[in-house]
């Protein structure tokens, strides 16, 4: 479908370059306007061409449109979840245009990540009887929000979020050898202003809707190489991407095959299983008409898996985003077998099914 959308958008690009651009308060790249993307993928006719031509407001790598021109006919999947089509379309602007930069080289079975490879990784700290401890991860999705798992938030006394971390043992992180020896001293510790747990999160009789947001008490400073946001699958083409058989990246500081938490950020490539394989593993105790894998992804292999301390972290793939290959977050580490790295794959909340929920909950 993305090929048809791309070809159709090229047609509009030529049309719009021949007309004068107009001014509007919501001029943005058409790839960031969900109602426009939906129209491109479902209704390619003269009426659609006319709307795009009228909405044209400029060009920046791709053509830009007044998103409010597409507010009518927004798909039910958006309006049902948000209750306000205009609000969600406006909130797409809260997501950064620059995200998921691929800077690094190409957990259980994991290898050490590069110093600047995953700058969106966040460590969540908790007040415990043993003092402050890091127990979960998350990902930066804009200047104020961290995406994580609901089980990392519900009932927890969160002390704050650390950004820019690589090796938790040291304030200054250094990698490489001379003459390519690099050190990084920047860290950000932010307080949490608001905890937002999915309203339908449940743990019994099975885990479902395991997703949450943390709104930070201050804006993240992106003027450092080790702090940046990851991309979300906001476009229809990314939401409809077939993930089965793809090899995704998981990163975190969780338990490793040694049974200890890693002090340094690790990464591992995990194969994403098909929906049927996922159901075969996790529906064994379900009722006949019950699917316990809805809104979830299964990924992992023998001795290659996310583990306990990786909870809330991202499952990432390199995909085309706004015309550029970037890291896009498709999953949130949720749960899995008692023994990490076993034949049972790990379970990840499918972010594609929660983009609208995320947008609904975000505010400037």
What are the residues whose beta carbons fall under 8 Å from the beta carbon of 280, sequence distance 6 or more?
none
Going from the C-alpha of 235 to that of each of 40, 125, 176, 232, 326, the distances in angstroms are: 11, 32, 38, 9, 14
**To 10 degrees, what angle do helices 34-42 and 2-17 make?**
110
> Catalytic annotation on 237?
no
Per residue, the 3-state secondary structure of 121-132, as one string, reads EEEEEEEECCEE
Give the three-state DSSP class for 188: strand
**The one catalytic residue among 26, 69, 173, 210:** 210
Instruction: Say if CB 123 and CB 161 are below 8 A apart.
Output: yes
**To 10 degrees, what angle do helices 46-55 and 34-42 make?**
160
User: What Rg, from alpha-carbon coordinates, does the chain have?
Assistant: 21
**The one catalytic residue among 63, 151, 198, 335:** 151
> Catalytic annotation on 224?
no
Going from the C-alpha of 75 to that of each of 38, 45, 315, 351, 364, the distances in angstroms are: 7, 18, 27, 18, 24
> Catalytic annotation on 151?
yes
Distance separating alpha carbons of residues 233 and 6, to the nearest angstrom:
16
Instruction: Say if CB 122 and CB 137 are below 8 A apart.
Output: yes
**The one catalytic residue among 125, 237, 311, 334:** 311
If we measure between CA atoms, which residue out of 44, 41, 47, 93 comes closest to residue 67?
A: 93
Instruction: Say if CB 266 and CB 110 are below 8 A apart.
Output: yes
Would you state the structure tokens that stand for residue 315, as one six-digit string? 């499952």
Distance separating alpha carbons of residues 31 and 201, to the nearest angstrom:
31
3-state helix, strand, coil in the chain (%, to 5): 25, 30, 45
What are the residues whose beta carbons fall under 8 Å from the beta carbon of 173, sequence distance 6 or more?
115, 166, 167, 183, 184
The continuous run of DSSP H or E covering 213 comes out as strand 212-216
**Alpha helices, H only, the chain:** 2-17, 34-42, 46-55, 76-82, 85-91, 236-239, 275-282, 355-361
Catalytic residues: 151, 210, 311
């Amino acid at each position: 479908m993305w090929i048809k959308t791309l070809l159709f958008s090229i047609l509009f690009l030529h049309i719009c370059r021949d007309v004068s651009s107009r001014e509007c308060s919501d001029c943005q790249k058409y790839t960031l306007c969900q109602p426009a993307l939906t129209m491109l993928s479902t209704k390619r006719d003269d009426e659609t061409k006319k709307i795009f031509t009228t909405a044209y407001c400029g060009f920046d790598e791709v053509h830009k449109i007044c998103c409010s021109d597409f507010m009518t006919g927004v798909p039910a999947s958006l309006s049902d979840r948000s209750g306000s089509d205009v609000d969600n379309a406006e909130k797409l602007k809260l997501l950064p245009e620059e995200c998921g930069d691929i800077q690094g080289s190409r957990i259980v079975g994991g290898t050490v990540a590069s110093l600047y490879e995953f700058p969106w990784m966040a460590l969540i700290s908790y007040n415990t009887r043993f003092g402050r401890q890091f127990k979960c991860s998350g990902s930066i999705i804009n200047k104020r929000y961290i995406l994580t798992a609901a089980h990392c938030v519900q009932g927890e006394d969160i002390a704050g979020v650390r950004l820019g971390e690589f090796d938790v043992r040291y304030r200054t992180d250094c990698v490489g050898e001379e003459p390519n020896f690099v050190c990084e001293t920047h860290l950000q510790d932010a307080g949490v202003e608001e905890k937002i747990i999915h309203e339908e999160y449940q743990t019994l009789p099975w885990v479902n809707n395991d997703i949450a947001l943390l709104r930070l008490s201050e804006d993240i400073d992106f003027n450092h190489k080790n702090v940046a946001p990851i991309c979300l699958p906001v476009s229809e083409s990314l939401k409809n991407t077939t993930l089965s058989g793809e090899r995704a990246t998981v990163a975190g500081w969780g338990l490793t095959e040694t049974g200890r938490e890693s002090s340094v950020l690790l990464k591992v490539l995990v194969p994403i299983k098909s929906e049927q394989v996922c159901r075969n593993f996790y529906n064994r105790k379900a009722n006949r008409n019950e699917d316990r894998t809805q809104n979830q992804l299964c990924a992992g292999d023998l001795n290659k898996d996310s583990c306990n301390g990786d909870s809330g972290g991202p499952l990432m793939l390199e995909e085309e985003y706004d015309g550029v290959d970037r890291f896009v977050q498709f999953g949130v580490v949720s749960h899995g077998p008692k023994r990490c790295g076993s034949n049972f794959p790990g379970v990840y909340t499918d972010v594609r099914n929660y983009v609208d929920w995320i947008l609904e909950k975000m505010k400037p």
